[in-house]
Amino acid sequence: MLYINCPHCGMRSQNEFSYGGDASVKRPELNKEVSNQEWDNFVYNRKSLRGKHLELWQHISGCRQWIKVERDTATHEIFRTFKADEEVA
Amino acid sequence: MTQAFRIENGGLINRDKKLSFKFNEKSYFGYEGDTLASALLANGVHLVGRSFKYHRPRGFFGAGVDEPYAVVQLYRNGETEPNIKATEQELFEGLEAKSVNCWPSVNFDIGAINNFLKIFLPAGFYYKTFMWPKSFWYRIYEPFIRKAAGLGVASTKHDKERYEHKYEYCDLLIAGSGPSGLAGAYAAAKNGAKVILAEDKPRFGGSLLTSDVNIGNQSGKDWAEGIIAELKTMPNVVVKNRSQIFGYYDHNMLVMSEKVSDHLPSTKKYHPNKRLWYIRAKEVLISSGSIERPIVFGNNDTPGVMLSSAAKEYLKVYGVLVGRKPLVFTNNDSGYETAIEFKKHGVDPVILDSRKNAESEIIDEAKNLGIIIKNSYVVVAAQGYKKVKSADIASISEDKKQLGKIEHIQCDCICVSGFWTPSIHLASQSGNKTKFKEEIDAFVPGQSKQNEITLGAANGIFSLNETLKTSFKAGSELSKKLTKKDNEIAIPNVVEKKSSQHDKFWCVPLPKGKNYKRFLDFQNDVAVSDVEIALREGYRSIEHVKRYTTLGMATDQGKTSNLNGLQLVSEIENKVVPAVGHTTFRPPYTPVSIGAIVGREVGKHSKPTRKSPMHSWHEKNNAVFVDAGVWLRPRYYKRGNENLFEGSKREAKNVRTNVGVCDVTTLGKIDIKGPDAAELLNRVYTNAWLKLPVGKARYGVMLREDGIVMDDGTTTRISENHYHMTTTTAQAANVLSHLEYYLQLVWPELNVNVVSTTEQWAGAAIAGPKSRDLLQKLFPNSDVSNEGLPFMGYMEGDLFGVKARIFRISFSGELAYEVNVESDYGNFMWEKIMEIGEEFQIQPYGTEALSTLRIEMGHVAGSELDGRTIPYDNALEGLVSKKKDFIGKRSLQRSAFTTEDRQRVVGVVPLDKKTSIPEGSHLVKDDKAPLPNPKLGHISASCWSVEYDNPFSLAILKDGKNMIGEKLFAMSPLKNKVIPVEIVSSHYVDPKGERVRS
């Protein structure tokens, strides 16, 4: 079970969180023309990365905040975590 | 009464407390502190089971977790548990156990005929033989194999025992209480670190209990007892025996199974049987020791052949002689230690040492005691069927290939030592890259991946002095890092005998003309010849060899067989062992009860149960409940002998003619506040929300980004910046997460707060033509007329002193209202409604009547909004705004969603107006068409229309828009039904929606 550092609450076990997928996906702006390809990429197409991956988790049984977690998908190592509005450098 | 093989004094058992027990229906006795194995051996019982494949007689091989043979069916307190290792099961008064895998009895086992057929049962036998004809597999082969193979039998009864889970955090977790574990734990504890020390056996001390050493002028055992006693007094230390750390998972989480009650005749009141610990440790010290490995020789599975360390443990811990004429077969000094213990207790052993000459303090001691030692000698084969009677021995050449003349030697047990294998399981599970250590012919942990350090014998360090030094240091340094304290500990003086180099010899060659079975894996009956076959047939990877031969796949997970298997493969393949590599070590290290893994989450506790504040009223009024997610909802209120069909029909009818009340507390409720609340709703729902006035409710549909309907519900504008959203019962949690996702990540600029208020409000839906009259009496000071409170209107009211929210919304299609009060007043509200409603012939109605009402009205719900439909499919396209953008809108342009013949909700009526259509039935054009019959749609929901008194269903049908009036067939192969039907409008009752506005 992973041990995730919630930027709001501190170290918590994985079973307090729910997974939210790739954090690098950006929703196209509202009321903007979007090509089929662009929309498909947003809704469906995801890379199944091996290695460092920035992903979303929600601290669903805690502060209910969505957070970003930088995790290695092969080793499960967690490098850094960020608040939802924090820029990932 | 004396026991034939129990020495008069000595051992750590309590001779003042006799315990009686039964094995295979026969009564015996043992002492407190015995294991089932030691007690049976004390009584001279060596035959305990039959092997997995050939049903050969099986005895005891080890004295602990490594035991491959002595697996029994245990009976305790009216319950039974299969596959218990007799070497781990502590004796208690009244224990009963039986052999497994033998029929009719362990002494006469019909399956043993396999032993004579063994030429037909080589590796891969099942794969090769039972393939044809295919149809025979399920009917004949599989049941036969399952009966013949396999071990104990699981109970089919409900397990009355309780199992608990516990979460724990610590600085240092120490797995194993041998010398290294004690030293590491002690040093860390002295530095104030929070320490958990776990030992799988009942007694602490590990090898110190049986070794002949001195630490700080005390015996090893006394030193261990002193350390444990001191650790137990320290508030920062948890010391647990009977606790096996069996898994090392991500981020330094380890799981431990504590046997709380297995050593007792019955579990104490309020105690669990087992406790599963999830331990998150900052640092882990693995001090799991090592397991002696056997030398492979002919018939080495005969009862009476056992590990020399086990023989020593039975003698020193339990005061039990495993034989009176022992033969010790060794390639290192450990065998001598066992022989010396025998000699000290008046038994004359013979030592066969594969080494030509070896010199050490231990060997000198054996010589001084006058023990017969034969160098360059090996056991060729054990003789005897159910018990060792003698051994064929022979001298062996220096290259270990040529055997001398076979000699015969009488013996009643063969204690074998092929040196030691470090238990690297936990380290390997943590991701440690193990490495092969030539000097000890075994793998040891290498580069750590997580915060783990392996100590002592588990790390291939077999000198006590070095073990203590390195372990004290590790415990001290790791804890110092965490606690910043440094209490130096004087390392005690150690006296131990020096041993000499072991012989790299592990398998005795077959003598000419003999074809003895030489077993590698004792539980799964994998012999040297099986591995040879696997390699000959082209299996190269050690993982494949393992699966083809089942080497190391039994319940002991190859603790005594893996390394010898690797040696064999490397020898045949002409590779070095590290090039062959080892198979993956996976948790659990030892078998864990399913009960312990499940914990308290059984039966009703497998998920939480949510009840509305009116639940007790429903109970008192004969409600029959149904699970709605985790909620319990009344399905119908049973009157007399009514069944579900009759009861729900009565309730629905009453709503259509008088008035009914339904508990709608379970609907998800989300409170939405903030200046941008309307903007959020406008983006989340498909329809327009910016112009909804205060005091008005609106029905809305929300989509996922892929265009599929996610949920529907009404949202009411309570005040300027305050909305009350309702969701379906099932989607409440998902909708909240969905809103939070967009507010926190996508549109953080929106100034809105959302919070779940599902638990805060109790809700009652009042529906039926008389509902307004009732409402007026409930709220005499409010104007609830059609003008005062029009359809989709909202107002606050005073319910006899209780603040209430009144929504004029309808799911039933009748004139209807929903009244919400704070949860604590829910029951009060309900009782008032029932009391005042009496004059209007009010009846409560449950979910079944609710479904009937919405189905015949054509209102879609969960069975249509099933995660596969878009608004059009549900006839909701009128709610999809063309002007504004919203979540999922772009996806609605996908070509599959815009085809002319797109599926759509329709009504379905059986032509005979009598036969109910099973939900899930497929709609087809031709009931006689060859399979696969093209499916046009499926029945999503069925009811008995109370309006027309005939069956009515909703269906999602291809080209539903143009199918009204068509005749089709509803087919349910599951229910074996073919029903001719007519497609009608989904709005079966009141298609213009006049009643809700009346």
Contacts of A42 in chain B (CB under 8 A): 705
Do B839 and B925 fall within a single domain?
no
Report the alpha-carbon distance of residue B717 to residue B739 in Å, rounded. Answer: 17
Tell me the one-letter amino acid at A86. Answer: E
Q: Which residues pair with B735 in a beta bridge?
A: none
* Nearest CB to B745; choose among A2, A28, A66: A66
Quick check: B851 and B812 in contact, CB under 8 A?
Answer: no
- Contact between A78 and B251 using a beta-carbon 8 Å cutoff: yes
Contacts of B748 in chain A (CB under 8 A): 84-85
Do B841 and B767 fall within a single domain?
yes
Report the alpha-carbon distance of residue B308 to residue B305 in Å, rounded. Answer: 9
- Contact between B250 and A85 using a beta-carbon 8 Å cutoff: no
Is A88 domain-assigned? no
Q: How far is CA B316 from the centre of its chain?
A: 38
Q: Does A49 touch chain B (CB under 8 A)?
A: no
Placement of tokens 């190391």 in the chain: B552
Count of the separate structural domains present in chain B: 7
B898–chain A nearest CA distance, Å = 15
Is B624 domain-assigned? no
Q: How many CB atoms within 10 Å of residue A29?
A: 9
Q: Which residues pair with B414 in a beta bridge?
A: B305, B327
Q: What is the pLDDT of residue B53?
A: 75
Is A23 domain-assigned? yes
Report the alpha-carbon distance of residue B349 to residue B69 in Å, rounded. Answer: 24
Is A19 domain-assigned? yes
CATH value at residue A12: 3.30.2270.10
Do B15 and B152 fall within a single domain?
yes
Is B373 domain-assigned? yes
Contacts of A31 in chain B (CB under 8 A): 884-885
Report the alpha-carbon distance of residue B605 to residue B781 in Å, rounded. Answer: 46
Is B507 domain-assigned? no
Q: For B19-112, where are the alpha helices, taking DSSP H only?
A: 36-42
Do B458 and B588 fall within a single domain?
no
Q: Give the residue from B839, B745, B773 showing the smallest Cα distance to B998.
A: B773
- Contact between B748 and A30 using a beta-carbon 8 Å cutoff: no
* Nearest CB to B253; choose among A3, A27, A65: A3
Report the alpha-carbon distance of residue B768 to residue B853 in Å, rounded. Answer: 11
Placement of tokens 């662009």 in the chain: A38
Structure ipTM: 0.98
Q: What is the pLDDT of residue B56?
A: 85
Is B615 domain-assigned? no
* Nearest CB to B250; choose among A2, A27, A60: A2
Range of the domain at B12: 1-160
Q: pTM for this one?
A: 0.89
Q: Which of B418, B452, B472 is the last residue of a domain?
A: B418
CATH value at residue B460: 3.50.50.60
Tokens of B62: 């080890």
Is B613 domain-assigned? no
Is B37 domain-assigned? yes
Do B407 and B429 fall within a single domain?
no
Q: What is the DSSP letter of B605?
A: G
Is B886 domain-assigned? yes
Count of the separate structural domains present in chain A: 1
Do B151 and B242 fall within a single domain?
no
How long is chain B?
Answer: 998
Q: Which of B418, B440, B455 is the last residue of a domain?
A: B418
Is A46 domain-assigned? yes
Mean pLDDT by 10-residue block, N- to C-terminus, for chain B (998 residues)?
86 96 96 98 92 83 93 92 94 94 62 59 61 62 61 85 96 98 98 98 97 95 98 98 97 97 96 97 98 96 97 98 97 97 96 95 96 97 96 96 96 97 96 93 94 97 97 97 92 94 94 93 88 90 88 86 90 88 90 93 90 98 95 97 97 98 97 98 98 97 97 97 96 97 97 97 98 97 96 97 97 96 98 98 98 96 96 97 97 95 98 97 96 95 97 98 97 95 96 92
Do B803 and B929 fall within a single domain?
no
Do B550 and B527 fall within a single domain?
yes
Residue B235, burial from CB neighbour count under 10 angstroms (0-12, 13-18, 19+): exposed
* Nearest CB to B250; choose among A1, A20, A42: A1
Is A71 domain-assigned? yes
Report the alpha-carbon distance of residue B388 to residue B516 in Å, rounded. Answer: 15
Q: Does A41 touch chain B (CB under 8 A)?
A: no
CA quadruple B670, B673, B676, B679: dihedral sign = positive
What's the farthest any 2 CA atoms get from each other in chain A? 42
B553–chain A nearest CA distance, Å = 26
Is A79 domain-assigned? yes
Q: How far is CA B258 from the centre of its chain?
A: 16
Do B931 and B987 fall within a single domain?
yes
Q: Which of B129, B160, B191 is the last residue of a domain?
A: B160
Closest chain B CA to residue A13: B280
CB pairs under 8 A between A and B: 53
Give chain B's contact residues with A (Cβ, < 8 Å): 167, 249-253, 278, 280, 431, 449, 683, 705-706, 737, 740-741, 744-746, 748, 884-885, 890-891
Placement of tokens 């075994």 in the chain: B442
Kindly report the three-state secondary structure assignment for every residue of B805-817: EEECCCCCCCCEE
Range of the domain at A71: 3-83
CATH value at residue B822: 3.30.1360.120
CATH value at residue B689: 3.30.70.1400
Is A73 domain-assigned? yes
Do B90 and B6 fall within a single domain?
yes
Q: Does A73 touch chain B (CB under 8 A)?
A: no
Q: State the average pLDDT over residues A60-87.
A: 96
Report the alpha-carbon distance of residue B858 to residue B301 in Å, rounded. Answer: 73
Is B121 domain-assigned? yes
Is A89 domain-assigned? no
Report the alpha-carbon distance of residue A71 to residue B663 in Å, rounded. Answer: 45
